Structure 1
Amino acid sequence: MKELQPTVKFIEQITRKAGRILLKHQGSIVKVADRGSGDYTTQADLASENYLVTAVKRRFPDHQILTEEEGIKEVSLQKPCWIIDPLDGTRNFTFGIPLWVVSVAFYDQGEGQIGAIFCPRLNEFFLAQKGQGATLNGQPIHVSQKSTLDQAFLVTNYFYSPEAAGKNTAWLNSLSGRILAASILNCSLLEICYIAAGRFDAGLYRGGKPWDWAAVKVIMEEAGGVMTKLDGKAADIFYPDHLFNNGVLHSAILATKP
């Protein structure tokens, strides 16, 4: 959609700028709030979010905004809505590991229109617009074509909830010996972008929030991938648990669910 091109340029500009803000904070990290379950907020999270929210409000004062630090609130995706994760991979960020990202998505008419995810340390910028495909640093990306489980490299997230960990471990145990490998990078959004780029083949995630899923949903689908709930039903960014894959492996992975 040509009318969205200025918004695409804007989202790339502010996502990159937020990444640069985070880079300035990485050498002097201060925790300012404990979210519980081993998660926390840093001054860097707040600085990134403050910049992004201010930039969006200045450009689009009538648009809705949903952010990680503000938490869940009622919004309508039928109307213009920005969904922001100012820093995904906070633990990696605080330990000096380069695998962390900024995520910004724009939704309207009930669908994700634009998704942008930037990993400043690796200088990897993932961008997708509905109907226009997905790119990494301006080059088109596509999910892998792996067709059997024994070829599949799977990623997942780490759980601080014993219940969620137990459920996920049971499924991973079911997959054990059937897949090529499994990994955890402690940055779910970057992992999912890597599925979109064909580096990984599938991902199993629990406990996500809208800002975790909003941008990657657009990127995955535009890269030819599949995102569904863990029972195979249609994805919902307000639902916590999702399966991501190249589409070819979808049925085979679901069949291993205990």
Structure 2
Amino acid sequence: MAEPDLSLLRDLAVDTACEAGAALAGFASRHAAGDDLGFATKTTVSDPVSEADRAAERLIADRLAQARPDDGLLGEEGQAQRRGTTGLRWVVDPLDGTVNFLYGIPAWCVSIACEDDDGSLVGVVHDPTREETFVAVRGGGAVRDGAPLAVTDAATLDRTLVATGYAYAADTRRDWAEDVAELLGTVRDVRRVGAAALDLAWTAAGRFDAYLEFGLAPWDWAAGRLLVTEAGGVVSRPTRRLGGEPRVGVLAGGRAAHDGLAAWLGGRPDW
């Protein structure tokens, strides 16, 4: 099987993410004018979905199918899943940060990655509200609108600004909140933005020193993980028992921040 042209995959991901972002901006304007966008919930009441999520995923699925009909596809809303025959799979979050979107909080994005058996080849996180596009190519670095990205070099936890988030299940959220309360006394501070893909993109850009969250799905981190590693950072998948079940997380940041948080996690008893 021929090696894929990464520049073509990158350009397709960027163009598709930006087109979906423009469509979502239109939905955001409608919502601000009073349209409820068919708001519904999925796994729990804290896990919403709307007409905007579904429309953005359909748009992305259509564009990718037109350009790459034999590739696989995995999307959060599950409208166009396919296995593919090329060894490549697109992993899509059409609207990461739906709660923020529905409340008019300008912290949401489109996340698109293309992966092979070794992980993501290209990753794009597009933030329409700030008109920022974060792009990474395996072995080719990471950029924001053409400017190179680099993770920070926070050397100790007390100098580390950590981004996190909370899973949808209530018991998992409660246990992780207890952990975060402990973490607050150890690190510089903790931020909760509400969009995992943005958290990872901002970690790659040095806006956070590290990111740690449990209970994520592949579309939450497929693009962001590549952004961090191509920006010189480290990403691992720790497991922690929360809400009575083992939960796999994502830990990302510069080497010292990553290792410091890994050691902190390793010293805490499971719930």
Q: TM-score, normalised by structure 1?
A: 0.90
Identity %: 30
In the alignment, is residue 190 of structure 1 matched against residue 192 of structure 2?
Answer: no
Larger mean Cα displacement after TM superposition, 197-206 or 158-167: 158-167
CA change 1:78–1:251 in 2 (3 A) is farther
Q: Which of the residues 117, 120, 136 maps onto 1:128?
A: 136
Cα offset for 1:169?
2.5
Q: Which residue of 2 aligns with 1:36?
A: 43
Distance 1:184 1:77 in 2: 39
Structure 2: where are the runs of 5+ without partners?
A: 32-36, 241-246
Please give the residue correspondences for 1:230-245 in structure 2 after superposition, counting only pairs within 5 Å: 230-231=238-239, 240-245=248-253
Q: CA RMSD in A?
A: 2.3
CA change 1:75–1:243 in 2 (3 A) is farther
Q: Which residue of 2 aligns with 1:149?
A: 157
CA change 1:15–1:255 in 2 (3 A) is same
Q: Which residue of 2 aligns with 1:110?
A: 118
Distance 1:33 1:90 in 2: 11
Q: Which residue of 2 aligns with 1:236?
A: none
After the TM superposition, which parts of structure 1 deviate over 6 Å for at least 4 consecutive aligned residues? Answer: 71-74
DSSP-derived class of the 1:47 partner: helix
Structure 1: where are the runs of 5+ without partners?
A: 233-238
Q: Which residue of 1 aligns with 2:25?
A: 23
| Deviation readout 1:112-149 (Å, 9 max, x if unpaired) | 10000000011110000000000011100010011011
CA change 1:227–1:71 in 2 (3 A) is farther
Cα offset for 1:99?
0.7
Corresponding letter in the other structure for 1:171: D
DSSP-derived class of the 1:36 partner: coil
DSSP-derived class of the 1:248 partner: helix
DSSP-derived class of the 2:107 partner: coil
Corresponding letter in the other structure for 1:36: T
| Deviation readout 1:38-86 (Å, 9 max, x if unpaired) | 1121111111111100011111111111000008978589811111100
DSSP-derived class of the 2:139 partner: coil
Q: Which residue of 2 aligns with 1:177?
A: 185
Distance 2:254 2:63 in 1: 34
In the alignment, is residue 226 of structure 1 matched against residue 234 of structure 2?
Answer: yes
DSSP-derived class of the 2:30 partner: coil
Q: Which of the residues 90, 93, 100 maps onto 2:101?
A: 93
Corresponding letter in the other structure for 1:62: D
| Deviation readout 1:90-120 (Å, 9 max, x if unpaired) | 1111111111000000012432100000000
Q: Which residue of 1 aligns with 2:10?
A: 8
Q: Which residue of 1 aligns with 2:223?
A: 215
Larger mean Cα displacement after TM superposition, 15-24 or 223-232: 223-232
